[in-house]
């Protein structure tokens, strides 16, 4: 069977700049890393691989050429193969377009074989929508289980534990093919090993680059054209309004504060 793990490259920190003209984020200026939760999703794939004979782990990402680095990280953790979906036509994708692109690539990869599991992060640290996993599953017509805090595969049954409402956990299961999105609690990601790094260096053999034509993408459904949501404006929020400092002895401040709270109807 195949385990396909969808990974995303994200900016490392929050010093993101906004291009004032286009309103788009300027990403090149900030270092890029593998989305932290995606390490957990790779780890889940690798743990399952180690527990049985027949598993091949394939990491896949849609992004610019530099997203290759995220795939190398997955390979050096132990993934068997990697696919980079890269094409200028994919630029500006919202989650509908992203999930369309990923899922037709997965269809091509699976070639009508139904024996697969997809692992994703519950959300990416930049866009943070958490849409991509469930939407890939929807496009492929398979069930999705979101927000796993524990996950295991027994035969072709995927068993997941996840938070439901405050104080409750839910155990939920489904049969493959299926998609699961993971949270931090699901496992502790391994570090790349020396062997893994050597393996990743065999990039030419392990990493394929596919473009819109390779996956036979419908141009109406990818990139900007395929996106239904548009970011119409981006701005840095105003710094917090002016504040006041209460002075005096603790007792004086205490009664000033109490009367202020009363006045504002907080107490």
Ligand X SMILES: Cc1cc2nc3c(=O)[nH]c(=O)nc-3n(C[C@H](O)[C@H](O)[C@H](O)COP(=O)(O)OP(=O)(O)OC[C@H]3O[C@@H](n4cnc5c(N)ncnc54)[C@H](O)[C@@H]3O)c2cc1C
Interaction residues for other proteins, span 175-204 (CB under 8 A): 175, 178
The DSSP call for residue 67 is G
- Span 108-127, contacts to other proteins by CB under 8 A: 126-127
Tokens 């990139």 — which residue?
223
Measured from the CB atom, the residue of 111 and 165 that comes closer to other proteins is 165
Only segment of 54-62, 160-168, 188-196, 197-205 that touches other proteins (CB under 8 A): 160-168
CA distance 83 to 130: 21
The residue from 76, 86, 93, 146 that contacts ligand X (CB under 6 A) is 93
Tell me if 259 contacts other proteins by CB under 8 A: yes
Only segment of 42-50, 105-113, 127-135, 137-145 that touches ligand X (CB under 6 A): 127-135
CA distance 19 to 107: 36
What are φ and ψ of residue 81, in 5° steps? Answer: -145, 165
Residues in the chain: 267
With CB under 6 A as the rule, give the number of residues binding ligand X.
31
The residue from 152, 163, 197, 209 that contacts other proteins (CB under 8 A) is 163
Tell me if 155 contacts other proteins by CB under 8 A: no
Measured from the CB atom, the residue of 119 and 154 that comes closer to ligand X is 119
What are φ and ψ of residue 42, in 5° steps? Answer: -65, -45
Task: Quote the tokens at residue 51.
Answer: 């527990």
Bond into 177 cis (ω within 30): yes
255 binds, among other proteins, ligand X, none (CB under 5 to 8 A by kind): other proteins
Measured from the CB atom, the residue of 88 and 258 that comes closer to other proteins is 258
Task: Quote the tokens at residue 14.
Answer: 């929050």
Measured from the CB atom, the residue of 13 and 198 that comes closer to ligand X is 13
CA distance 153 to 66: 33
At 140 the three-state DSSP class reads helix
- Partner residues linked to 33 by β-bridges: 10
Residues near ligand X, by CB under 6 A: 6-8, 25, 35, 37-38, 41, 61-63, 93-96, 98, 102, 120-121, 123-124, 126-133, 229, 231
């Amino acid at each position: 069977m195949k385990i396909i793990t969808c990974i995303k490259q994200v900016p490392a920190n929050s010093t993101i700049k906004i291009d004032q003209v286009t309103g788009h984020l300027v990403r090149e200026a900030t270092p890029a890393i593998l989305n932290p939760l995606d390490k957990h999703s790779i780890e889940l794939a690798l743990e399952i691989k180690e527990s049985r004979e027949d598993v091949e782990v394939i990491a896949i990402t849609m992004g610019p050429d530099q997203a290759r680095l995220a795939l190398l990280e997955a390979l050096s953790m132990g993934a068997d193969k990697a696919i980079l979906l890269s094409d200028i036509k994919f630029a500006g994708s919202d989650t509908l377009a992203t999930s369309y692109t990923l899922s037709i690539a997965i269809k091509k990869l699976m070639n009508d074989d139904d024996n697969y599991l997809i692992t994703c992060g519950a959300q990416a640290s930049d866009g943070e929508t958490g849409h991509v996993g469930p939407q890939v599953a929807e496009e492929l017509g398979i069930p999705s289980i979101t927000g796993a805090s524990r996950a295991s595969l027994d035969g072709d049954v995927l068993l997941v534990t996840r938070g439901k409402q405050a104080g409750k956990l839910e155990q939920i299961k489904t049969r493959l093919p299926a998609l699961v999105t993971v949270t931090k609690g699901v496992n502790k990601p391994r570090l790349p090993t020396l062997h893994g790094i050597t393996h990743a260096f065999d990039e030419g053999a392990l990493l394929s680059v596919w473009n819109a034509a390779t996956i036979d993408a419908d141009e109406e459904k990818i990139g900007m054209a395929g996106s239904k949501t548009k970011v119409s404006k981006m701005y840095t929020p105003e710094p917090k309004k002016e504040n006041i400092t209460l002075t005096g002895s603790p007792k004086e401040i205490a009664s000033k504060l109490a009367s202020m709270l009363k006045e504002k109807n907080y107490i």
